[in-house]
Amino acid sequence: MSTVISREQAVANARRVLDRARARRDALPIREAAEQAAVGSFQSADEIELTLRRLRRAALVEQVSAPSAPAARAA
């Protein structure tokens, strides 16, 4: 049985699937994520791990330095 859904529902479904996949990916230990990413890549797991660590550090710095939403509204 085939069901037709609206474009908005299809986009919402796709977004939900991507969000879950990102959450699973982000929950992996860095080394495991690097090893999985190295499969079929021209980079080694060590190189990918180094890149992931740099990116996570940069994201943390951005998170800490960004003003929180309530504080930004009050300013």
| Structure confidence at residue 73 (pLDDT) | 57
Query: Average pLDDT over the chain, rounded to whole?
Result: 88
Mean pLDDT, residues 40-48 taken together: 96
Alpha helices (H) in the chain, listed in sequence order: 7-27, 30-38, 45-65, 69-74
| Structure confidence at residue 60 (pLDDT) | 87
pTM over 0.85: no
* Closest to 45 (Cα-Cα) out of 62, 57, 28, 61: 28
Residue 51 lies in a domain: yes
**Domain residue limits at 26:** 7-74
Dihedrals phi, psi of 71, to nearest 5 degrees = -70, -35
pLDDT at 1 over 80: no
Residue 60 lies in a domain: yes
Give me the sign of the Cα torsion angle 68, 71, 74, 75.
negative
pLDDT above 90 as % of the chain: 63
| Structure confidence at residue 69 (pLDDT) | 59
Residue 2 lies in a domain: no
pLDDT at 75 over 60: no
Q: How many domains does the chain have?
A: 1
